[in-house]
Structure 1
Amino acid sequence: MMRVDLDQPADLTLWPGDPPSRMADSRSFPTLRAALAAAAEAIDERNAKPWIITQSGDILAPNWIRAHTAMVGPH
């Protein structure tokens, strides 16, 4: 399992879950914890496909994000 620093800055990109997926929404967050919380909310509310890039260069794919949303608590 990859260890990540939840307090490092991270960029979240949300791709629409329903085709066509031509436009993505990107935002920067002060912490990975905040990006994960926003990603979990987007998955639940908009069926989005989130991707996160951390300040250290880790690229977190949608399946990793779904599996690790418990790190940020209930959403």
Structure 2
Amino acid sequence: MVLADLDKRAELTVWPSNGPARTAQAREFSSLREALAAAAESIQANDAQPWIITEDGDILSPRWIRANADPHRLQ
């Protein structure tokens, strides 16, 4: 992944850490940067399991998001 990928569209799906899968919520974002910020927020607020699919088809796991969603890295 390169910095230019942060400006491409992405879809975020947030799965609850405790609860039925049917309560997952999906949203589209105009940039991966926005999706990562929302994913990090959901982890902190709800201890959720966010997954992101990028415009190029990459699938970013909760572990990858935790390791790479630092706001300073997204600048």
Query: Which deviates further from its counterpart, 13-22 or 55-64?
Result: 13-22
Cross-structure match for 1:67 = 67
Match runs of 1:1-75 below 5 Å: 3-4=1-2, 5-70=5-70, 71-72=73-74
Secondary structure of the residue aligned to 2:26 is strand
CA distance in 1, matches of 2:50, 2:41: 10
Structure 1, unmatched stretches of 5+, are none
RMSD: 1.3
Structure 2, unmatched stretches of 5+, are none
CA distance in 2, matches of 1:41, 1:26: 14
Q: What TM-score results when the alignment is normalised by the length of structure 1?
A: 0.87
Count the aligned residue pairs: 71
Spell out structure 1 runs of 4+ moving beyond 6 A: none
Shift of 1:52: 0.1
CA distance in 2, matches of 1:46, 1:21: 15
- State the one-letter code of the partner of 2:44: D
CA distance in 1, matches of 2:46, 2:74: 19
